[in-house]
């Protein structure tokens, strides 16, 4: 199986170029559902140890089904598919350029949640115009066992987020463990209280905000991803959800740039315009770098060829 690895603002992406499972016919959303339901072993084998780790996001590269798209892609982690992934879309853009598949300029990608546009600005810089993003619930308060009450917004940016404005823990890399513990507990509390996204969707990302370290940035964040790892980047879909909340609160006008800083200090530039349905259409710009072009080997005698999964 050929894979090309990259990182976007520190967050890794593994693009599966060939050797993935046969997902049959149907829409990309239908094939993505089939990947999650029938081929989770493939997903874990690609992203988990011993070949990877919890933070890696997989991207299964497929031929486009639309004439206006350069590729189709299904993003996945060690638990499930992701509807959309901002950092992986930036990484995929740089990877497609590395492969000689695209040149600088605007290109369209088909994802299970809709078509997104990538603008390859140079060999390492990509702007992603995301799907329409919106706030679903405002100022939701939840009691978190051992921590107290937290108030946040539920918003969609291609994935579902619970966004907490003021983190009680300093957002530094030295606090990754306590920040992870806190956000896991917040997610558990949301589940216990039946707080969901639209259509009873699981809120699988938790995002904490605080003041930036850089004088040029607007905010710093910490993002818990579905599998329990933290996002090294500022999180593209999380920034999209944040823009939706800022726009609805009248705190950021269309076209104005927001510089979001991650917990490790990497940054994305984000802005939005209003979509046809009144929701915000975010554009996220970041840098990615290819780190390896490799062949994964799956020896039938290897007891961990499908990845090392936690028990329970």
Cα-trace Rg, the chain: 18
Determine the longest span between alpha carbons in the chain, in angstroms: 59
Q: Which listed residue (43, 69, 225, 235) is catalytic?
A: 235
239 is catalytic: no
CA distance 182 to 126: 32
Q: Measured in whole angstroms, how far is the alpha carbon of residue 157 from the centre of its chain?
A: 9
Candidates 69, 85, 239, 245; catalytic one? 85
The DSSP symbol for 230 reads B
Query: 50 preceded by cis ω (within 30°)?
Result: yes
Sign of torsion, CA 77 83 85 88?
positive
**Which residues does residue 285 pair with via DSSP β-bridges, in sequence order?**
127, 269
Cβ contacts of 71 within 8 Å, gap of 6 or more: 61, 62, 63, 64, 92, 96, 101, 109, 110
The 8-class DSSP code of residue 181 comes to H
Handedness of CA 219, 222, 224, 225 (dihedral sign): positive
Q: Among this protein's residues, is 85 annotated catalytic?
A: yes
Task: Give the separation between CA 160 and CA 241, rounded to whole angstroms.
Answer: 8
Asked if 137 and 154 count as a contact pair (C-beta separation under 8 A), the reply is: yes
The residues assigned a catalytic role are 85, 235
């Amino acid at each position: 199986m050929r894979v090309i690895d990259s990182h976007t603002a520190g967050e890794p992406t593994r693009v599966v170029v060939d050797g993935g499972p046969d997902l049959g016919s149907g829409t990309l959303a239908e094939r993505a559902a089939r990947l999650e339901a029938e081929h989770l072993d493939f997903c874990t084998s690609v992203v988990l140890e011993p070949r990877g780790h919890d933070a890696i996001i997989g991207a299964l590269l497929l031929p486009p089904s639309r004439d206006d798209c350069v590729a189709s892609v299904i993003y996945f982690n060690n638990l499930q598919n992701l509807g959309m992934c901002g950092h992986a879309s930036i990484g995929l853009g740089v990877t497609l350029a590395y492969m000689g598949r695209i040149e600088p300029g605007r290109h369209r990608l088909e994802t299970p949640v809709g078509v997104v546009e990538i603008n390859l600005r140079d060999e390492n810089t990509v702007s992603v115009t995301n799907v329409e993003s919106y706030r679903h619930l405002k100022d939701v308060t939840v009691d978190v066992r051992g921590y107290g009450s937290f108030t946040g917004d539920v918003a969609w940016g291609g994935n579902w987020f619970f966004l907490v404005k003021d983190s009680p823990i300093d957002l530094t890399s030295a606090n990754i463990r306590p920040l992870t513990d806190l956000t896991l507990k917040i997610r558990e509390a949301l589940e216990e209280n039946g707080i969901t996204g639209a259509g009873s969707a699981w809120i699988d990302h938790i995002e904490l905000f605080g003041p930036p370290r850089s004088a040029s940035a607007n905010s710093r964040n910490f993002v818990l991803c579905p599998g329990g790892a933290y996002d090294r980047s500022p999180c593209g879909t999380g920034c999209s959800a944040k823009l939706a909340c800022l726009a609805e609160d009248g705190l950021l006008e269309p076209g104005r740039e927001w510089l979001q800083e991650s917990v490790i200090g990497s940054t994305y530039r984000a802005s939005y315009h209003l979509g046809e349905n009144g929701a915000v259409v975010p554009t996220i710009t970041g840098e990615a770098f290819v780190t390896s072009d490799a062949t994964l080997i799956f020896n039938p005698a290897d007891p961990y060829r499908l990845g090392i999964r936690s028990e329970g």
